[in-house]
Structure 1
Amino acid sequence: MGTSAWRSLAAKLGVEQPLIQAPMGGGITTPELVAAVSNAGGLGSIGASYLAPEDILRQAQAVRALTQRPFAINLFSPVGPTKSVDPAPMLEILARYHAQLGLPAPQSPATALPDFLGQVEAVLASAPAVFSFTFGIPSASVLESFKSRGILVAGTATNVQEARQLEASGVDAIVAQGSEAGGHRGTFAGPFESGLVGTMALVPQVVDAVKLPVIASGGIMDGRGIAAARMLGASGVQLGTAFMTCREAGTAVAHKAVLRGARDDSMRITRAFTGRPGRMIANEFITALEGSEAVLPFPAQHYATIALRGAAARQGDTRFMALWAGQGAALSRDVSAADLVKALLSETDTVLRSAVE
């Protein structure tokens, strides 16, 4: 049941258990959440993709003030230049929703994420135990800059082809992101539809295709999911949605309530809020923009909708919030991160013991 692989990855990460809290941007992965998971024996992760270098440094310092244990920092790989698109149609749509929330008219959005190499320098200076990434593969020089300092490197794959490319690049571990996962799809070698492989099917195929530790991700919410991942050959697991309702998470109150009340069929993959396919709970904004040609490329759409999303979160108006969620959201719990980690590990042990009786 993968006990040796499980222990081996834990030793490499420097943690008691290779149970990773997924890196989630937008303020969800607060220093308190990251540190609580690490202090509980897992690996907390900072979602730093939208952060300026100085903010990455501040986040890492805040985590270090709360824990001496290992943690990870995650970035988006550079996505390259996007085609220029007139933002006027999107801004016209957004203006109607801005008016409903008492916001001024939207302005032309930024079209680029913070400078990636500047972010890399900030992560290197922060010296996490693990550097993880998604949306592609950074350059060989970037990866070497981490490996030369003893920082483990983990990349995200949504199909076997991507896993093989990651192995060839020299990463230390691969996160196999099943289609059930909440958040952005990490697919980079082809259209996102080519990465819509379920966790149950994806993990064993990736395990067979590469010689690296494989970390299962997508739809895992309790000990049953962790035990299943281990039986499929995973060396570790990464959970995102499960941690979003923890008390330390920066998830908006209304968002947490929607997660706990979600059904198995509540989620959609949409470009509506960021311009890149991602799984979240459907709402009025997603429905209104379904199939719309006005949606801007990533990250312009992300920046265009920030004001709307922020105001909606403050007002508790879930019609216009980006309600990120994996397909297992209905299994969410209202607990502390430490209690969740404890429960997950206890449940896993119970399931695995019963499997051999």
Structure 2
Amino acid sequence: MSGILAKRPVQDFLRRTGARVPIIQAPMAGAGGVALAAAAIRGGAVGSLPCAMLTPDQVREQVAQVRAQADGPLNLNFFCHRLGDPPDETAWRALLQPFYDKEGVSPPDTPPPLRAPFDDALCAAVEAVRPELVSFHFGLPDPALLDRVRATGALVVGNATTLDESIWLIGKADMVIAQGFEAGGHAGYFLNGYRPVGTLALVRQVVLELGFSQIPVIAAGGIVDGAGISAALTLGAGAVQLGTVYLFTPEATISAAHRSALRTDTVVTNLFSGGLARGARNTLIDAFGPIHPAAPRFPHASAALAELRRAAEADGRGDYSPLWVGQAGEIGPALGEPAQALTERLAREVTALLGESP
């Protein structure tokens, strides 16, 4: 094999991770889990489990289930936000009151579990299950926790949405995800606020900046086919992280309403969690606009929506649910292609485009 696939960035990624193809299946809370991670691994990719909404025991259980179904590199993903004191939700609940009335529900007396930041207990779970990779969103955990993760032998993967964030990760992470604004779900910014940069522009900036440090760069956002993967690798990325394309597979755990929205227009919104995230429009966004100042800070906005989501989802509606999807959903694959077959097909497409000399 010659060409881009034989170059150092791709080969370095494959060597370090043990993957057969330069793809990480993105961790997507509420959309991915054991079946999707295992299928991606069987296809040759790095499979991922989203762990920000799992208990330590659930992390252990799900890793065991993946290991029983597939042999290959597994990534565990965690969030590194700060919860802080609960915010005042008075204005937010008042804004939602017409919808409570419409659906015949009330805001929850006891807030549901929120996305949890990486802590001692979750770190102990990582130490117990020893994944090949551990990735973090919204920065990195405290140095003492990060040292414990490293001691397991896992590769540490950081997420950058700007060049400044990628530079901050030098010496702290083994690999850097360059997350463009096209990506679905939460933008993982952690320095200097939200400063949207397109995936290909960001990848090239980061590759040129980090090239001397030999940190593999992983492109994420707006990539759903072999041509998109090839473009990212041509610009110097060692791999891609794919999320939206896997939402089209039967292993994705999304609702029928979410599936029907995969090919629609997307916006960046703070309504569903308080953090900025890309997803499809729905009733809540149409009512308030994508961004509203009354939404409590991340991750607290989701609590007041819990009963509204439950009522609508029981009726097959996604009116108050986060319908995360990236900008390339409109050119995604046919619904129903199994995740393993999808991964293998994408690898063949990339090889045909880049991997062989003419």
- TM-score with structure 1 setting the length: 0.91
Match of 1:33, SS state, is helix
Whole-angstrom CA distance in 2 between matches of 1:86 and 1:143? 32
- How far does the alpha carbon of each residue in 1:121-160 deviate from its partner, in whole angstroms, 9 at most, with x for none? 2122121110000101212222211222211110000111
* Correspondence 1:122 to 2:121: no
Per the alignment, residue 20 of structure 2 pairs with 16
What residue identity is the alignment partner of 2:32? Answer: T
Per-residue deviation at 1:319? 2.5
Per the alignment, residue 89 of structure 2 pairs with 87
Per the alignment, residue 345 of structure 1 pairs with 347
* Correspondence 1:294 to 2:281: no
Determine if contact 1:218/1:326 at 8 Å carries over to the other structure.
yes
What residue identity is the alignment partner of 1:175? Answer: I
Whole-angstrom CA distance in 2 between matches of 1:130 and 1:30? 16
Distance 1:245 1:213, change over 3 A: same
Whole-angstrom CA distance in 2 between matches of 1:62 and 1:95? 42
* Correspondence 1:281 to 2:285: no
RMSD: 2.0
Per the alignment, residue 329 of structure 1 pairs with 329
Match of 1:20, SS state, is strand
Per the alignment, residue 55 of structure 1 pairs with 58
Counterpart mapping for 1:223-242 below 5 A: 223-242=226-245
Whole-angstrom CA distance in 2 between matches of 1:106 and 1:289? 21
Counterpart mapping for 1:170-209 below 5 A: 171-192=173-194, 194=195, 196-209=196-209
What residue identity is the alignment partner of 2:329? Answer: A
Per-residue deviation at 1:199? 0.7
Question: Structure 1 regions of 5+ residues with no counterpart?
Answer: none
- TM-score with structure 2 setting the length: 0.91
Whole-angstrom CA distance in 2 between matches of 1:111 and 1:191? 26
Determine if contact 1:221/1:332 at 8 Å carries over to the other structure.
yes
What residue identity is the alignment partner of 2:22? Answer: P
Counterpart mapping for 1:262-277 below 5 A: 262=264, 266-277=265-276
Per-residue deviation at 1:352? 2.1
Sequence identity (%): 34
Determine if contact 2:123/2:149 at 8 Å carries over to the other structure.
no
Per-residue deviation at 1:257? 1.8
Counterpart mapping for 1:311-322 below 5 A: 311-322=311-322
- How far does the alpha carbon of each residue in 1:214-237 deviate from its partner, in whole angstroms, 9 at most, with x for none? 000000000000000010000011
Per-residue deviation at 1:208? 1.1
Whole-angstrom CA distance in 2 between matches of 1:2 and 1:96? 55
- Aligned partner (choices 96, 99, 114) of residue 98 of structure 2: 96
Per-residue deviation at 1:284? 1.9
Determine if contact 2:6/2:355 at 8 Å carries over to the other structure.
no
What residue identity is the alignment partner of 1:298? Answer: F
Determine if contact 2:81/2:117 at 8 Å carries over to the other structure.
no
Per the alignment, residue 30 of structure 1 pairs with 33
Number of matched pairs: 347
Match of 1:318, SS state, is coil
Distance 1:281 1:156, change over 3 A: same
Whole-angstrom CA distance in 1 between matches of 2:101 and 2:69? 41
Whole-angstrom CA distance in 2 between matches of 1:103 and 1:135? 33
- How far does the alpha carbon of each residue in 1:20-61 deviate from its partner, in whole angstroms, 9 at most, with x for none? 1001112x1120110000011101100111212122122212
Match of 1:154, SS state, is strand
Distance 1:137 1:131, change over 3 A: same
Determine if contact 2:224/2:244 at 8 Å carries over to the other structure.
yes
Whole-angstrom CA distance in 2 between matches of 1:41 and 1:328? 23
Determine if contact 2:270/2:292 at 8 Å carries over to the other structure.
no
Match of 1:150, SS state, is coil
Per the alignment, residue 76 of structure 2 pairs with 73
Determine if contact 2:130/2:153 at 8 Å carries over to the other structure.
no
Whole-angstrom CA distance in 1 between matches of 2:245 and 2:56? 28
Per-residue deviation at 1:116? 2.7
Per the alignment, residue 154 of structure 2 pairs with 151
- How far does the alpha carbon of each residue in 1:182-211 deviate from its partner, in whole angstroms, 9 at most, with x for none? 00011101111x2x1101100011011112
Whole-angstrom CA distance in 2 between matches of 1:191 and 1:317? 33
Whole-angstrom CA distance in 1 between matches of 2:286 and 2:60? 38
What residue identity is the alignment partner of 1:14? Answer: G
Match of 2:188, SS state, is coil
